[in-house]
Amino acid sequence: MFEIAERVQIRDELIAAARQDADIAGAAVVGSAARGAEDRWSDIDLVLQLAPDADEPPVVARWTRSIDDKYGVADTLDVASREGVRYRVFLLGSSLQVDLSFWPHELFRATEDGFQLVFGKANEPTSAAEPGREQAIGMAWLYALHARSAIARGRTWQAVLMLDDLRNQIITSECLRHGLNPWHGREVDRLPAPVLERLRDGRAASVSLTELERSRLALLQHYLAAVAHHDAERAIALRRALGPAQRGAGGTTNC
């Protein structure tokens, strides 16, 4: 397990390397450190602005080699955004996570709260796209249908997966309702106690079909109540289609 001093040292060294790199025009600290919420388990989040004439793939490859040589990389994961930003996530041998994002010069900007410019010049900030309530409502009923059919077919582990996905959509809806950030569960624990209690009660205690069905019905009730806060008419229509009377266990389905 990495030490806090190690994390601070590595972040400082990465920033120093960015200042010396002709292909990097700017850098910013983001994430928990920028929001003043860093703790024992926080990772490193750095945003790097590519120089106007920088060729991104060789720059990323060079940084990857350098980080591996200096700190030892166990694995990496690339996430590409729609804007053309590459997020390379490093897992170091010490278990420290290092998130480096490489931004085209003209796109370098703050997209969320907590953007501490270290050097360079950022463009005008924008807001990241928030998870949509409409999408969460629609995906939830889709997962609810598949959970019902999985239980009816005796596919316990498929049911577990579908119920987990249903719960995640409920969490997104509840976070949006209460003005909290659902991204990666960042503020889920700040939901009101009654909501957290319903989420807890909706978890299956085992993978038996009886318990999975109990979980499905509890999550379904929670889902319909969450929809009703947003759109009462829609909740009524969804209840007719998905309501507890239409139990899946022991039956058949074409879902």
Contact 96, 10 (CB under 8 A): yes
Three-class secondary structure of residue 34 per DSSP = helix
What is the pLDDT, as a whole number, of residue 252? 38
Q: DSSP per residue over 194-230, as a string?
A: HHHHHHHHTS-SSSSHHHHHHHHHHHHHHHHHHHHHH
The residues, any chain, with a CB within 8 Å of residue 80's CB and separated by 6 or more, are 86, 87
Query: Per-block average pLDDT, block size 10, for the chain (255 residues)?
Result: 95 98 97 90 96 96 98 92 86 95 94 89 75 86 94 96 97 93 88 96 96 96 94 91 56 40
What is the pLDDT, as a whole number, of residue 72? 96
What is the pLDDT, as a whole number, of residue 248? 40
Cα–Cα dist 239/166, whole Å: 15
What is the pLDDT, as a whole number, of residue 186? 85
Cα–Cα dist 27/50, whole Å: 9
C-alpha closest to that of 60 among 26, 92, 90: 90
pTM of the model: 0.73
- 44-50 and 24-30 beta bridge pairing: antiparallel
Cα–Cα dist 96/6, whole Å: 9
